[in-house]
């Protein structure tokens, strides 16, 4: 009986030793070669010292022999890695072209370091902290201060459910809608940091005002025009947007696609139709959007939809993918529905519907060569929305989750969440973080040249 107990004890001790060594090797992520050496030495010790039958020692050595064979790289690739990868790939869902574009789009700036497991903090600390120019500072101390003095958030939210007419006028005339528009188009051409400072300041008085100003200065759609618009589109829209003659909105979200924005069911079909008295090849749009900020007062709608060319009027491809276009509000077939009143904040927000809306091909932002590149455009320019949200330090907690999702191609509108940070400002400790983050906005910007026109794909 004693002999049996002793043998069991010795067996357990060896088993524990083998297991312990295996765990240490795994924990230290030792290479295959080094693991084979260590286990080989242990196995030799086992053969020399272990008082077990020969057949058992041979049995224990078989897995080791297999492990040794894995050290022969061509054999390992052929016998293990490739078959494993093949079956693993079969298990994974296939990636659509839109998802592939979302993954390829933009950059991750320093945030990418966080996923390496060993972030380079020095890189973050040495990132340039942006500063204001004298002109930007003067705008903050002048028109921005004046605007704040005009804002009575109680009156805006609870009495009128809108900004007073004189505030609308002031915002437009002082160029608040054109902060990101270059001077040559009549805008203020502010840096991302100055833009952020203006929003922070206004948000401290009224979330309605800051959200109203945030939209025309982000996707909606000056940012898209600046990066991808044709010269004709820039010349036409940017001066009007800067002067506030056009009030824009950007319509992506719909009743059936929110976070999962790449799944929008809104469609545009390339076909022949009547435009200003003559027949042209254009796009017939049918769409239903909701939660669109500034929609109730918009004069021009930035629209995201999926484009099809079933009759191959423009090329060989029939499903061109998500596309962004600019549609004047008064185009026949466009309807703005009843206003939403989201989260008890009074900025203008509502649904937009389109039934058989016919527009020329030139309505596509960037023209037909950028048809199907809408998702990439949106994802690449999200840095601006993120900068906008980071402009409102307390907004980060509320908004980060949806923003991160859309950054990953899933959805959420940055501007939509700005209001969360309206009142509780003064988080000085976070200001430096905001400045660095806003400084990074330029890192996520990608030039039009990086977009591959679909006809070259």
* Residue closer to ligand FAD (CB basis): 179 or 298: 298
Q: Which is nearer to ligand FAD, 140 or 261 (CB)?
A: 261
Smallest distance, ligand FAD to C-beta of residue 315, A: 28
The minimum distance between CB 357 and ligand FAD, in angstroms, equals 17
Residue span binding ligand FAD (CB under 6 A) among the ranges 41-49, 74-82, 410-418, 446-454:
410-418
Number of Cβ atoms within 10 Å of the Cβ of 83: 11
Other Cβ atoms less than 10 A from the Cβ of 98: the count is: 21
Q: Which of residues 136-195 bind ligand FAD (CB under 6 A)?
A: none
Tokens of 101: 């574009």
Binding mask 247-276 for ligand FAD (x = CB under 6 A): --xxxxx----xx-----------------
CA dihedral over 205, 383, 236, 300, signed as positive or negative: negative
Which two tokens mark 259? 């976070």
Q: Least distance to ligand FAD from the beta carbon of 412, Å?
A: 4
Task: Compute the least distance from the CB of residue 28 to ligand FAD, in Å.
Answer: 35
Of 5-13, 183-191, 272-280, 408-416: span binding ligand FAD (CB under 6 A): 408-416
178 or 302, CB closer to ligand FAD? 302
Query: How crowded is residue 429: how many other Cβ atoms within 10 Å of its Cβ?
Result: 8
Shortest distance in whole angstroms from residue 79 CB to ligand FAD = 38
413 binds ligand FAD per the rule CB under 6 A? yes
**Closer Cβ to ligand FAD, 270 or 378, answer by number:** 378
β-partners of residue 397 are none
Chain positions 193 to 252 lying near ligand FAD, rule: CB under 6 A, are 249-252
130 or 296: CB nearest ligand FAD: 296
Separation CA 324–CA 373 (nearest Å)? 8
For ligand FAD, the binding residue among 307, 412, 422, 437 (CB under 6 A) is 412
CB of 59 to ligand FAD, least distance (A): 48
Which value, in Å, is the radius of gyration of the alpha carbons in the chain? 30
Which is it for the CA torsion 158, 159, 162, 166, positive or negative?
negative
Stretch that binds ligand FAD, among 188-196, 373-381, 407-415, 423-431 (CB under 6 A): 407-415
Is 353 in a helix, a strand, or coil? strand
User: 168 is written with which tokens?
Assistant: 């609308």
Distance CA 388, CA 381 (A): 12
For ligand FAD, the closer CB: 140 or 257: 257
Smallest distance from ligand FAD to CB 157, Å: 14
Per CB under 6 A, the segment of 17-25, 132-140, 361-369, 411-419 that binds ligand FAD is 411-419
- Nearer Cβ to ligand FAD (270/399): 399
The interface with ligand FAD within residues 296-355 (CB under 6 A) comprises 342-343, 349
**Measured from the CB atom, is 160 or 184 closer to ligand FAD?**
160
Rounded to whole angstroms, what are the CA distances from 146 to 3, 142, 175, 213, 343? 94, 6, 13, 15, 27
Window of 164-172, 290-298, 319-327, 382-390 that interacts with ligand FAD by CB under 6 A = 290-298
Stretch that binds ligand FAD, among 72-80, 144-152, 412-420, 437-445 (CB under 6 A): 412-420
Stretch that binds ligand FAD, among 26-34, 270-278, 351-359, 409-417 (CB under 6 A): 409-417
Looking at the Cβ atoms of 39 and 214, the one nearer to ligand FAD is: 214
CB atoms within 10 A of CB 243: 17
364/412 with CB nearer ligand FAD: 412
Closest distance to ligand FAD from the beta carbon of 365 (Å): 15
Tell me the number of residues near ligand FAD by CB under 6 A. 19
Q: At its nearest, how many Å lie between ligand FAD and the CB of residue 327? A: 14
**325: CB partners within 8 A, 6+ apart:** 268, 283, 285, 302, 303, 305, 359, 363, 364, 365
Residue 70 to residue 79: CA distance in whole angstroms: 9
C-alpha closest to that of 390 among 446, 348, 439, 442: 439
Q: Which residue is nearest to ligand FAD (CB)?
A: 258
Residues whose CB is less than 8 angstroms from the CB of residue 164 and which lie 6 or more positions away in sequence, other chains included: 150, 155, 156
Burial group, residue 114, by CB count within 10 angstroms (0-12, 13-18, 19+): exposed
CA distance 202 to 238: 23
Dump the DSSP string for 381-400: THHHHHHHHHTSTTHHHHHH
Contact 305, 325 (CB under 8 A): yes
Q: Which of 324, 148, 196, 197 is nearest to 248 (CA)?
A: 324
Looking at beta carbons only, is 39 or 203 nearer to ligand FAD? 203
For residues 244 and 299, is the Cβ–Cβ distance under 8 A? no
Binding site for ligand FAD (CB under 6 A): 249-253, 258-259, 291-293, 342-343, 349, 402, 411-413, 415-416
């Amino acid at each position: 009986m004693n002999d049996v107990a002793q043998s069991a004890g010795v067996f357990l001790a060896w088993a524990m030793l083998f297991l312990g060594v295996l765990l240490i090797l795994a924990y230290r992520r030792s290479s295959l070669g080094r693991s084979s050496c260590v286990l080989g030495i242990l196995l030799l010790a086992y053969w020399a010292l272990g008082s077990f039958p020969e057949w058992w020692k041979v049995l224990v050595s078989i897995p080791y022999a297999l492990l040794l064979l894995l050290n022969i790289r061509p054999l390992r690739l052929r016998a293990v890695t490739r078959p494993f990868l093949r079956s693993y790939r079969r298990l994974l869902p296939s990636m659509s072209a839109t998802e592939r574009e979302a993954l390829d789009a933009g950059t991750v700036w320093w945030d990418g370091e966080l996923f390496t497991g060993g972030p380079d903090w020095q890189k973050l600390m040495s990132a340039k902290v942006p500063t204001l120019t004298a002109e930007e500072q003067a705008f903050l101390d002048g028109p921005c201060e004046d605007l704040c003095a005009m804002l009575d958030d109680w009156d805006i939210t609870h009495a009128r459910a809108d900004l007073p007419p004189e505030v609308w006028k002031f915002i437009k005339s002082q160029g608040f809608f054109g902060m990101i528009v270059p001077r040559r188009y009549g805008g203020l051409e502010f840096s991302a940091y100055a833009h952020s400072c203006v929003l922070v300041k206004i948000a401290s008085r009224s979330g309605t005002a800051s959200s109203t100003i945030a939209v025309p200065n982000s996707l909606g759609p000056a940012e898209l025009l600046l990066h991808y618009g044709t010269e004709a589109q820039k010349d036409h829209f940017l001066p009007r947007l800067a002067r506030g003659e056009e009030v824009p909105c950007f319509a992506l979200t719909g009743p059936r696609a929110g976070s999962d924005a790449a799944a929008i069911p809104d469609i545009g079909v390339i076909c022949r139709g009547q435009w200003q008295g003559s027949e042209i090849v254009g796009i017939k749009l049918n769409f239903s959007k909701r939660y669109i900020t500034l929609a109730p007062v918009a004069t021009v709608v930035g629209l995201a939809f999926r484009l099809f060319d079933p009759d191959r009027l423009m090329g060989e491809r029939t499903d061109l993918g998500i596309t962004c276009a600019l549609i004047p509000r008064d185009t026949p077939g466009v309807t703005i529905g009843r206003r939403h009143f989201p989260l008890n904040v009074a900025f203008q927000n509502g649904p937009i519907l389109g039934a058989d809306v016919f527009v020329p091909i030139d309505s596509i932002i960037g023209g037909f060569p950028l048809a199907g590149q809408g998702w990439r455009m949106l994802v690449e320019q999200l840095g601006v929305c993120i900068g906008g949200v980071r402009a409102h330090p307390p907004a980060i907690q509320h908004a980060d989750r949806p923003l991160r999702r859309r950054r990953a191609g899933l959805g959420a509108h940055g501007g939509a969440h700005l209001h969360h940070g309206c009142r509780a400002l003064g988080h000085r400790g976070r200001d430096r973080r905001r400045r660095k983050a806003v400084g990074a906005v330029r890192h996520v910007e990608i030039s039009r040249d990086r977009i591959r026109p679909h006809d070259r794909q």
